[in-house]
Amino acid sequence: MAQTVKRAYKYRFYPTPEQAAELARTFGCVRLVYNKALEERTRAYTREGRRVSYAESSAALTAWKREKELAFLAEVSCVPLQQALRHLQAAFAHFFARRAKYPTFKSRKKSRASAEYTRSAFRWRDGRLTLAKMDGPLDIVWSRPLPEGAQPSTVTVSKDAAGRWFVSLLVEQTMDPLHPTGNAVGVDAGITALVTLSTGEKITNPRHERADRRALARAQRAFARKTAGSSNRAKARVKVARLHARIADRRRDFLHKLTTSLVRENQTVVIEDLAVRAMVKNHSLARAISDASWRELRSMLEYKTAWYGRELVVTDRWFPSSKLCSACGTLQKSMPLNVREWACACGAVHDRDVNAARNILAAGLAER
C-alpha cells in the first residue's frame, strides 16, 4: 500500500556575492540566538530549577532585537531565528526524556553553518527558489528532479567546511512499495568485508579513508605548519576539509548503492545490533570501524525498508552469532578475532563471517 512520507532532496547551489553575504549574516545570527537562548535556559535551570518554554525564548528574542548591541538581528529573516529556538526546544525535550545529552553551544569553527526557512520565508515558483531578504533565486544544480508537483515545506541552507553550499528541500512524496519477494537475508557487518550475506556473498570494504590517508596526512601537516590566523592557514584548512568531504561523499554513495540493492532484492533484511560507540573505544580498530560507518548503514536500511514495504529485523547484540554452528547449533567456548575459518565437531567447516550471517538470519526469522 502506497504511503506518503516526508523526504529531503539535497542539492548544491552557487550563491552570488550578495546572497553569500546575506546567508553568512543569517548563519551568524542563528548561532548567536541559539547560544543566547541556551545560556538563558541553563541559568534558569541551574539557579532556579525552572524550565524555560519556547514562548519565553521567543519573547526574549523580541527583546534582544530592541537592544542597541543586538539590533542587527532584525536585519535578517526572523524565520531562521525562530527555527533555531524550536531546534533548541527539541534538544531540551530529548534531554529531559533521557534520549540525548545536555545541549551544547554552537561553535563558529566546529558547528555546521545552516539556516532553516519555512513556507513564509521563501518563494517556490516554476522550479525556482527565492529566500527571504534576497532579490533573486538561488542558482541550484538540479542533479536529480524533484517529484512531480512537489511543494517544499521547509528549506535548509548550509555551508560545509570545504566551502560548498547546499540547499535541502523537504517535500511530501508518495512511496509505492516494491513488488514482494520471498527472499530473506542475514547481514554480518565487518571490516575486511564490509558486509557478509547469509547467501555466502561478501561485499569488500572500499576503505575510503585509508585510500586517501596519505594525501590527508600531507594536507594536515601543511595546515599545521601555517601561521595561526594567516590567509595561508585558512586555505590549508579548506584543502583538508575538501579531502574529508571527498571521503565522506564516496562512502555515502557506496552505502546508498549497497543498501538500495539489499532492500530491492530481499523482503526481509536481518542485521545485528552493534554497540558501535563502545567498539570505537578499542584504539586498534577505531579508525577502521569509523571508516566502515556501520551506524549509517543501519540508518539507511531502516528508512529504506520503511519506504518500500520491506521488513528490517535487528537481533540482540549479545547473540553469539560467530561462536554458534549454523549446522548443528553447538556453541563454541571461544572464537578469537584472528580465527577466520573453523570446524565444528559435527563435521561442518565454517567461514566465520558467512556462518555469523546465517545465524543472524535464523535468529531474526525466529524473532518475527
Catalytic residues: 188, 272, 353
3-class SS of residue 173: strand
CA nearest to 353, candidates 329, 323, 328: 323
Calpha distance 364→359 (Å, rounded):
8
Nearest residue to 136 (alpha-carbon basis) of 29, 13, 288 = 13
Let me know: does 117 contact 156? Beta carbons within 8 Å: yes
List, in sequence order, every residue forming a beta bridge with 174; answer none if it has no partner. Answer: 4
Parallel, antiparallel, or unpaired: how do β-strands 268-272 and 184-189 relate? parallel
What does the DSSP assignment read for 99-125? SSPPP-PPPTTTS-EEEEEEGGGEEEE
What dihedral do alpha carbons 265, 176, 11, 233 form, nearest 10°?
Answer: -40
Do the beta carbons of residue 185 and residue 268 sit within 8 Å?
yes
For residue 129, give the nearest of 159, 160, 150 by alpha carbon. Answer: 150
CA nearest 174: which of 8, 306, 309, 3? 3
Contact indicator for 11, 143 with CB cutoff of 8 Å: yes
Cell numbers for 218: 600531507
Nine cell digits for residue 261: 540493492
- b/e 177-188 (16+ beta carbons within 10 angstroms → b): ebeeeeebbbbb
Place of cell 571490516: 191
Residues in the chain: 368
